[in-house]
């Protein structure tokens, strides 16, 4: 092989190796990514309806690196499995029927006003019973979409409950509370939603970590 | 018939066995696993150790793994050979592997020119990785609501980019160019401590490799500052950050010490302080900062490591510690670090301007005073980073004033540069274009810095993209542009070949326009409320962010133009460079290209400074000092 040919081969090999390494490097960041969840839409296009089923867990568990001990929301996907995604793609001007299973204990509110459900179509039902206001020391988490005026406090699992769930995925046979409510999405846009209860255990004042991280206690409603 | 000694080159497999980079990597990996097992033996097995899944949560095992890994890496590189030989009574020697072929670039070598080229390639590699992170950040910010990367990874991307750039680029000028050219400029045959010189490089490479492993440990959420209490709460990925920056600190400290010792003690006869090239003054100023600032960094990271492993509470409020202490200690290092990055840029610009303006450097002593003034004042400004952290409000006016005061010595160097250009016969070569860009970039960076040093305006600009745009104008606009100026200027001397001028100009213009198109709009984004280190932003800022992202991709593409030029010119075109293509009076340009191992046959005697361009009493064609037997 000529000297120039050897150089070309060397450079081509170098570019190929660099390309592979760059691919691995970027893949290292992408591992574990959960894409936006797009639930099945029911009803007519004029009045679409979506059912969202969510659970709230005290820790995502060792199979969901890199933060196995972080509190999180999980959503039940269209095949019935729980996945850690907090970005939901929803239709505009739709009716969203939400069921949240909460497996976490009480954290308490900083602002007692967050104990009153707002922005809903009809009442929030806690274990099937309408809720007017939740005492400030009780809420475990909130499901809040400020731009839509939606705020829903989640009732906690009692401290002395039996068969509590340590980390996800939590089964419905374990101790939990059930919240059901309905809201409407409004016009197209990106609506941030998050938990307003400082529930990040181990972080200063309960903020930081999962509280500020999309995919845990923070997400978006992409209304299209 | 006489016998002729013929050197028989051993086969490749034989040459791969011994103390070199390959052995170092093998020893490094072995050392890592040894430390990892010891750590688990001490602290108990973690989930990862048992193979259940997830990541290793045992900080002690990760730290011990890294420490023994670095020790193994250095032993494999051959850093234990000389001390061991001395212990066994062998005579002292300052030279090691200086005459070997390509292999000397992959191991311990005491030739300062080899170390310079090692630094250039090594820093280039990590600069590329840091830049790749920047591209990924901009991909993520194309949309405020669609997440490309998994939850939490954006913070790791930002942290990796910042840490890699701030850590590795601290040696961007001193590593490649000061190591290569300071001994030549002062008429010396080597650095004061040649093995330490090599050690600084390989420590930096070990550190860079360790930082990239943070992905396997969950990354880190703190950005490049590693603030507490996030630092203490973070995954074991934080350990990679701590070890990386500690190694960078040790490398910087030793690099600075070596530079000071070399410049102070090894100048050739006649090279008085007033004849010392301005580049050496810049290197000396930077070296002083490195030597004094880096130990504070090493100490604060050591304390953070103890908090994470030995349950000390230096920075943990519940145990009586203070996160605020970390902030103070970090910025005691951190602000001089900013000038560790900026001062070499000043030095490059002032060194190159006389060559391309064909005029003596205007205000040599003023320029030196400016750089020394910056060195001194940079110790008195660090609390401007803490204006919004709840510091005693009585401290604010002092730090506001001291920060604004530093613009005076900075202005000295700016003024000297401008006056050197005044009525000069300017040649718009590629290195000169990069130097001229420095004036524009650093001016924008400096003026925007006033908004951050003034307490009232800092209240709104702090923590926003305004701050981010400011420091990119000063660090990238100030350092990276001069880094490229130095590459285009000195590569003909380092390699004997010249880079393609046309491609160099394309690189410059694309980089300059894309750089400004990337960072100027971020001032507006910051004023409009976009926060740093946040994966999302208000929807109405999407147009600005998309514009910035596209500009950033063009900026990244300009680096590929450079890379193509570099590889094509040095490997394929291989056009021999003239010995002194820029008609410089500086002594390194009077030596053959590339410079021989021993530098000078005889130590030169200096009679003037190297800036006598156009002076009637000293025709510019004459060198400032004659290296006996060195010219060709």
Does some domain include residue B456? yes
For residue B245, count other CB atoms closer than 10 A to its CB.
26
CB contact under 8 A, B567 and A11: yes
Does some domain include residue B607? no
Query: How far, CA to CA in Å, does B599 sit from each of B121, B183, B192?
Result: 22, 9, 15
Q: In what order do the strands lie in the sheet with A87-90?
A: A87-90, A218-223, A189-194, A141-145, A150-154
Confidence (pTM): 0.87
Residue of B nearest to A86 (CA): B151
The interface residues of chain B toward chain A in range 45-64, judged by CB-CB distance below 8 A, are 47, 52-55
Does some domain include residue B599? no
- Both B88 and B100 in one domain: the answer is no
- Both A75 and A25 in one domain: the answer is no
The residue from B50, B71, B93 where one domain ends is B93
Residue among B183, B169, B255, B247 at smallest CA distance from B213 = B247
Residue A177 C-alpha, separation from nearest chain B C-alpha, in angstroms: 26
Number of domains in chain A: 2
- Both A53 and A107 in one domain: the answer is yes
Question: Alpha-carbon distance B39 to B37, whole Å?
Answer: 5
Does some domain include residue B333? yes
- Both B82 and B130 in one domain: the answer is no
Residue of B nearest to A72 (CA): B151
- Both A113 and A171 in one domain: the answer is yes
- Both A117 and A172 in one domain: the answer is yes
pLDDT over 70 (residue B13): yes
- Both A81 and A16 in one domain: the answer is no
The predicted-structure confidence for B270-323, as pLDDT tens digits, reads as follows 999 999 999 999 999 999 999 999 999 999 999 999 999 998 999 998 889 999
- Both A73 and A22 in one domain: the answer is no
The residue from B40, B61, B93 where one domain ends is B93
Longest dimension (CA), chain A: 84
Question: Alpha-carbon distance B191 to B601, whole Å?
Answer: 17
A108: left (phi over 0), alpha (psi -120 to 50) or beta: left
Burial B219-239 (b: 16+ CB within 10 A, else e): bbbbbbbbbbbbbbbbbbbbb
β pairing state of A82-83 and A72-76: antiparallel
CB contacts, 8 Å: A22 with chain B: 132
pLDDT at B7: 59
CB contact under 8 A, B536 and A192: yes
Does some domain include residue B610? no
Radius of gyration over every alpha carbon of chain B, rounded to an integer in angstroms: 25
Could you tell me the sign of the dihedral formed by the alpha carbons of A153, A159, A161, A163, in that order?
A: positive
- Both B269 and B317 in one domain: the answer is yes
CB contact under 8 A, A213 and B152: yes
The stretch B255-268 carries a mean pLDDT of 97
Contact B556/A at CB under 8 A: no
Which CATH number belongs to the domain containing residue A147 in this structure?
Answer: 2.60.40.420
- Both B81 and B207 in one domain: the answer is no
- Both B56 and B181 in one domain: the answer is no
Per-chain mean pLDDT for chain B: 91
Of B147, B233, B317, the CB nearest to A214: B147
CB contact under 8 A, B47 and A68: yes
Of A26, A67, A220, the CB nearest to B152: A67
The residue from B93, B124, B139 where one domain ends is B93
Structural domain of residue A11, as residue ranges? 1-31
- Both A25 and A113 in one domain: the answer is no
Does some domain include residue B398? yes
Structure tokens belonging to residue B499: 């880079």
- Both A43 and A16 in one domain: the answer is no
Of A11, A66, A216, the CB nearest to B218: A66
pLDDT over 80 (residue B54): no
pLDDT over 90 (residue B517): yes
- Both B62 and B205 in one domain: the answer is no
The predicted-structure confidence for B536-548, as pLDDT tens digits, reads as follows 888 899 999 999 9
Of A7, A29, A66, the CB nearest to B157: A29
- Both A143 and A195 in one domain: the answer is yes
ipTM above 0.90, yes or no: no
Number of domains in chain B: 2
The interface residues of chain A toward chain B in range 26-65, judged by CB-CB distance below 8 A, are 26, 28-34, 36, 62-65
- Both B203 and B260 in one domain: the answer is yes
Structural domain of residue B70, as residue ranges? 22-93
- Both B485 and B531 in one domain: the answer is yes
The interface residues of chain B toward chain A in range 200-219, judged by CB-CB distance below 8 A, are 212, 215-219
Q: Is B6 exposed, middle or buried (CB count within 10 Å of its CB: 0-12, 13-18, 19+)?
A: exposed
In a mutational test of the A interface, the residue from B147, B151, B239 whose CB has the highest number of chain A CBs within 10 Å is B151
Does some domain include residue B354? yes
- Both A103 and A213 in one domain: the answer is yes
For residue B510, count other CB atoms closer than 10 A to its CB.
18
Q: What does B110-147 look like in DSSP terms, one character per residue? A: --HHHHHHHHHHHHHHHHHHHHHHHHHHHHHTT-SS--
Helical packing angle, B112-140 and B194-212, nearest 10°: 20
Q: Which residues contact B48 (CB under 8 A, 6 or more apart)?
A: B54, B55, B56, B57, B58
Report helix, strand or coil for A180: strand
pLDDT at A206: 80
- Both B68 and B99 in one domain: the answer is no
CB contacts, 8 Å: B536 with chain A: 192, 214, 220
- Both A53 and A12 in one domain: the answer is no
- Both A72 and A176 in one domain: the answer is yes
Query: How far, CA to CA in Å, does A78 sit from each of A49, A50, B128, B231, B507?
Result: 15, 11, 41, 38, 50
- Both B65 and B147 in one domain: the answer is no
Contact A22/B at CB under 8 A: yes
- Both B86 and B152 in one domain: the answer is no
Residue among A170, A167, A137 at smallest CA distance from A155 = A137
Residue of A nearest to B136 (CA): A26
Ranges of residues in chain A with a pLDDT under 70 are 32-34, 65-66
Q: Is B84 exposed, middle or buried (CB count within 10 Å of its CB: 0-12, 13-18, 19+)?
A: exposed
């Amino acid at each position: 092989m000529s000297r120039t040919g050897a150089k070309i081969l060397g450079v081509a090999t170098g570019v190929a190796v660099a390309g592979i390494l760059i691919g691995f490097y970027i893949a290292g960041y992408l591992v574990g990514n959960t894409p936006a969840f797009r639930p099945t839409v029911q009803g007519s296009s004029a009045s679409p309806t979506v059912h969202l089923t969510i659970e709230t867990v005290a820790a995502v568990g060792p199979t969901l690196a890199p933060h196995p001990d972080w509190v999180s929301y999980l959503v039940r996907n269209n095949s019935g499995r729980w996945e850690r995604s907090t970005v939901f793609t929803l239709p505009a001007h739709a009716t969203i029927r939400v069921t949240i299973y909460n497996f976490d204990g009480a954290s308490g509110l900083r602002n007692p006003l967050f104990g009153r459900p707002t922005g809903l179509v009809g009442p929030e039902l806690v274990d099937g019973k309408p809720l007017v206001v939740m005492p400030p020391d009780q809420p475990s988490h909130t499901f809040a979409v400020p731009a839509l005026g939606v705020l829903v406090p989640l009732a906690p699992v009692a401290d002395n409950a039996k068969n509590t769930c340590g980390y996800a995925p939590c089964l419905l046979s374990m101790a939990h509370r059930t919240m059901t409510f309905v809201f409407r999405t409004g016009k197209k846009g990106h609506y941030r939603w998050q938990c307003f209860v400082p529930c990040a255990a181990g972080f200063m004042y309960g903020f930081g970590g999962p509280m500020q991280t999309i995919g845990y206690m923070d997400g978006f409603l992409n209304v299209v | 018939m006489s016998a002729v000694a013929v050197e028989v080159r051993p086969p490749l497999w034989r040459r791969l066995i011994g103390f070199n980079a390959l052995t170092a990597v093998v020893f490094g990996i072995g050392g890592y696993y040894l430390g990892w097992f010891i750590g688990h033996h001490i602290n108990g097995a973690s989930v990862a150790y048992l193979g259940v899944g997830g990541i290793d949560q045992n900080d002690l095992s990760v730290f011990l793994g890294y420490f023994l890994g670095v020790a193994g890496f250095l032993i494999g590189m051959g850093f234990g050979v000389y001390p061991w030989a001395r212990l066994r009574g062998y005579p002292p020697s300052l030279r090691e592997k200086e005459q070997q072929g390509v292999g000397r670039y992959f191991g311990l070598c005491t030739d300062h020119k080899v170390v310079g080229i090692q630094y250039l390639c090594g820093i280039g590699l990590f600069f590329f990785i840091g830049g790749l992170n920047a591209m990924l950040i901009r991909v993520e910010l194309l949309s405020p609501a669609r997440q490309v990367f998994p939850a939490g990874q954006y913070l790791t991307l930002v942290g990796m980019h910042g840490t890699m750039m701030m850590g590795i680029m601290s040696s961007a000028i001193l590593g490649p160019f000061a190591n290569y050219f300071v001994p030549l400029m002062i008429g010396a045959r080597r650095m004061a401590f040649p093995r330490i010189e090599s050690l600084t490089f390989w420590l930096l490479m070990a550190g860079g490799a360790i930082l990239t492993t943070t992905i396997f440990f969950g990354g880190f959420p703190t950005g490049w500052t590693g603030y507490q209490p996030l630092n203490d709460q973070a995954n074991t990925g934080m350990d990679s950050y701590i070890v990386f920056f500690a190694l960078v600190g040790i490398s910087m400290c030793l690099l600075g010490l070596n530079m000071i010792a070399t410049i102070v003690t090894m100048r050739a006869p006649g090279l008085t302080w007033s004849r010392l090239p301005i580049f050496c003054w810049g290197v000396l100023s930077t070296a002083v900062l490195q030597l004094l600032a880096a130990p504070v960094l090493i100490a604060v990271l050591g304390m953070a490591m103890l908090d994470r492993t030995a349950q000390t509470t230096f920075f943990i409020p519940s145990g009586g510690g203070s996160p605020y202490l970390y902030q103070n200690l970090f910025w005691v290092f951190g602000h001089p670090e900013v000038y560790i990055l900026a001062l070499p840029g000043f030095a490059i610009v002032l060194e190159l301007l006389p060559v391309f303006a064909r005029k003596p450097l205007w205000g040599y002593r003023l320029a030196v005073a400016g750089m020394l003034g910056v060195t001194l004042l940079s110790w008195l400004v660090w609390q401007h980073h803490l204006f919004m952290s709840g510091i005693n409000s009585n401290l604010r006016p002092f730090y506001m004033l001291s920060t604004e005061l530093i613009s005076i010595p900075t202005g000295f160097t700016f003024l000297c540069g401008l006056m050197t250009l005044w009525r000069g016969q300017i040649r718009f070569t590629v290195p000169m274009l990069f130097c001229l860009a420095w004036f524009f970039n650093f001016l924008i960076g400096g003026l925007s810095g006033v908004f951050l040093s003034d307490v009232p305006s800092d209240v709104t600009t702090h923590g926003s993209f305004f701050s981010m745009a400011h420091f990119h104008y000063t660090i990238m606009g100030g350092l990276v542009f001069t880094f490229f100026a130095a590459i285009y200027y000195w590569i003909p001397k380092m390699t004997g070949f010249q880079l393609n001028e046309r491609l160099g100009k394309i690189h410059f213009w694309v980089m300059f326009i894309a750089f400004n198109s990337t960072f100027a709009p971020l001032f507006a984004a910051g004023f409009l409320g976009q926060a740093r280190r946040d994966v999302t932003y208000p929807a109405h800022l999407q147009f600005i962010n998309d514009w910035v992202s596209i500009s950033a991709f063009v900026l990244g593409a300009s680096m590929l133009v450079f890379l193509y030029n570099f590889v094509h010119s040095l490997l394929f075109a291989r056009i021999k460079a003239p010995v002194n293509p820029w008609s410089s009076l500086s002594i390194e340009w009077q030596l053959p290209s590339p410079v021989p191992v021993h530098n000078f046959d005889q130590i030169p005697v200096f009679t003037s400074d190297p800036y006598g361009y156009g002076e009637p009493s000293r025709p510019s064609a004459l060198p400032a000092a004659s290296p006996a037997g060195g010219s060709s």
